[in-house]
Structure 1
């Protein structure tokens, strides 16, 4: 490395120690001089110490047996000395905490990484370390409020995502393109994530606004999954029916807007025919969801969900969606290109995006009218399918509002489409 590069890396090592030292010093800013173990100066020097150890290691790395000796020796000396001072402070003040010791060890390690490794990784590590240290009150408050059900649900969701998902085969199994085990698990994760995010939103924002926000966010991933999840919850006596209905309607609105974005980016030639209808239908559902949210706030006291998600129910719903998608694949193989509209409608039973992307990729081979009709068929099919899911899984009030919102949105979309054609 050139001298300028080494200066930049040493400056980063010092900066990491300085920013962590600012946070450590601020927490004990009321202490008199000599009453704190380490503050801004000490942590800045620890960052420099780690950088110096890295520089020495770098210059000695060509020698036999030199690699790692300097770093490990300096690290052991720092950890031992700092731990002794922290121990004496803990005994004098009668408290137990090793946070500063661990922070010092990490500052040294990140300082060495800034010299010997990836500077971007070292700087990112310093920022994350600072964020964790500065979030002490928030994290402690979160731990006091966290229930066992919430912790268990988070652990299950993380295990599904980072342990089970990477080891499942991605290749489809079975006829007509088959079913991918990874796709099934992804749907399980999506459904569980939507339920968990809804739970968090309700706890933070209340049962009325929280459900709407959760529905809007969940609709970005899958409005069908949000509808099914909220339909199952709507029959519970502990759930505000108007609020969960608003979340499902809001997710449906996002489905309109998401399709509009896909059409505008993937098939600009279709925007004149589809965009007014998509935006009009989405606006109608947003308005309906807002009215339900106001009604839910007035009719229901704030509620708390008892369980972030029911894993058995989530798996069953994921299998249902995969089954619908499999039937759509089978129909596409049987009908071929001649049945594009029918296949798009069948695909819409589970998802609008797949049909939209497929048709957008075929726009050079088919007319704009057929492409717009196929995308419209997928969207209408998806809206009707969600209303049918609501009829089978939701309460009477839930399914009534879902049908009303669906018919209103489709009527507004049709009027906007006709108006755009006349203009």
Structure 2
């Protein structure tokens, strides 16, 4: 390691400590000097101390003492900092070990910055600050967490990290079969994406206007958000604003679908992404116009925990059924059979057929055929939601929502055809 590189690594170690110190100092900013255990300067020095300790430890490595100095400095820092923190908490009559841990981690990250991967050390520092800064939000989330949700998450984690390695990975069944391990993994992935929306509802609630409420609902289920808003419109609610919320849910659904494709079948994203983007832009533009005067609250709806074990099992069964049906359709009718299965399953749920087609891209289906199957599923789901809006909502809500949905489909189809002609 050159002197310049060492200086750069020590600079990163110091920066990590300063970043953490800024958050810690800000939280205790009302305390006068001498009334806090550590602030910006102290945490900056801790990060630098970690880096210097690692550098000196490396120098002592030639004498066979590698690791001893670094361990001694870490234990010494922890003991001294813990003692001062203890005295502060005794004086203030409170209990918390967060600041002690917040001092130990920058030391370790500073050492990692010198002797390890700079990117991991830097990312670790940012994540640490995010965790420290999110204290109030995390506390609210835990307070709102029910035992049923906690139990479901624990059981699911156990089945993921304990049972999943034991699940057969080899395909089972006719038409090439499906891998039980892959199906279960995909079900977990889909539940995790939905859980983002569930957490957003827990932390933010839905009382932020129809547009934001619809976007949050789209993370959970755009179909459910559409049906809910249609019923509110039928009961006399403001049709344009409710339609804006339903369209916002559809926009989030398009983005969510794009993220799933980017994760599972990145080769298909250039074929599918532009069409999804065109449809999302049309729907988003219309939603913004319709909601431009929306300053009211949105009635909260109960959010169902997507990490409930039974729901994940149901999702795994659905994915398996669609996977078998898709493979059977491909075996009997070629690509036309796959498209038919995608259209029919997309009427009920867009995620399952998209995930199935993404899994078959390059493994039984060409990337082009898989992309078409995904878009057909999206189109079928969009049409189904438009039908729900017409059937369950007021006349004005149905006309607005179905009309914009049709324009979004037309924009997506035109984009896909134009790219196909150019390609």
TM-score, length of structure 1 as denominator length: 0.68
Q: Note the alpha carbon deviations across 1:356-383, whole angstroms, 9 max, x for none.
A: 96566379xxxxxxx98x8886666566
Q: Is the 8 A contact 2:23 2:129 kept in 1?
A: yes
Q: Is the 8 A contact 1:249 1:286 kept in 2?
A: no
In the superposition, relative to structure 1, how do residues 344 and 278 fare at CA in structure 2: closer, same or farther (>3 Å)?
Answer: farther
> What is the correspondence of 1:159-238 to structure 2 with a 5 Å cutoff?
165=164, 168-189=167-188, 192-193=191-192, 196-203=195-202, 204-206=204-206, 208-209=210-211, 212-217=214-219, 227=223
Q: Does 1:122 align with 2:127?
A: no
Give, in angstroms, the shift of residue 90 of structure 1: 1.7
Instruction: Specify which of 299, 302, 319 is matched with residue 302 of structure 1.
Output: 299
Gaps of 5+ in 2: 346-352, 419-423
Q: Distance in 1 between matches of 2:375 and 2:132?
A: 51
* 3-state SS of 2:329 partner: helix
Residue equivalent to 1:10: 10
Q: Does 1:347 align with 2:345?
A: no
Higher gyration radius (CA):
1
> What is the correspondence of 1:235-384 to structure 2 with a 5 Å cutoff?
265-266=270-271, 283=282, 302-305=299-302, 307-309=304-306, 310-336=308-334, 340-350=335-345, 351=353, 354=357, 358=365, 361=368
Q: Is the 8 A contact 1:201 1:213 kept in 2?
A: no
Q: Distance in 2 between matches of 1:311 and 1:305?
A: 18
Q: Distance in 1 between matches of 2:77 and 2:225?
A: 55
Q: Distance in 2 between matches of 1:278 and 1:126?
A: 34
Q: Is the 8 A contact 2:53 2:70 kept in 1?
A: yes
Q: Does 1:397 align with 2:392?
A: yes
In the superposition, relative to structure 1, how do residues 330 and 248 fare at CA in structure 2: closer, same or farther (>3 Å)?
Answer: farther
Count of residue pairs the alignment pairs up? 386
* 3-state SS of 1:37 partner: coil
In the superposition, relative to structure 1, how do residues 244 and 205 fare at CA in structure 2: closer, same or farther (>3 Å)?
Answer: farther
Q: Is the 8 A contact 2:215 2:249 kept in 1?
A: no
In the superposition, relative to structure 1, how do residues 377 and 284 fare at CA in structure 2: closer, same or farther (>3 Å)?
Answer: same
* 3-state SS of 1:349 partner: helix
In the superposition, relative to structure 1, how do residues 43 and 283 fare at CA in structure 2: closer, same or farther (>3 Å)?
Answer: closer
Q: Distance in 1 between matches of 2:109 and 2:118?
A: 9
* 3-state SS of 1:125 partner: helix
Q: Distance in 2 between matches of 1:47 and 1:281?
A: 45
Gaps of 5+ in 1: 219-224, 364-370
Give, in angstroms, the shift of residue 118 of structure 1: 1.3
Q: Distance in 1 between matches of 2:163 and 2:295?
A: 40
Residue equivalent to 1:136: 135
Q: Distance in 1 between matches of 2:212 and 2:77?
A: 48
In the superposition, relative to structure 1, how do residues 386 and 186 fare at CA in structure 2: closer, same or farther (>3 Å)?
Answer: farther
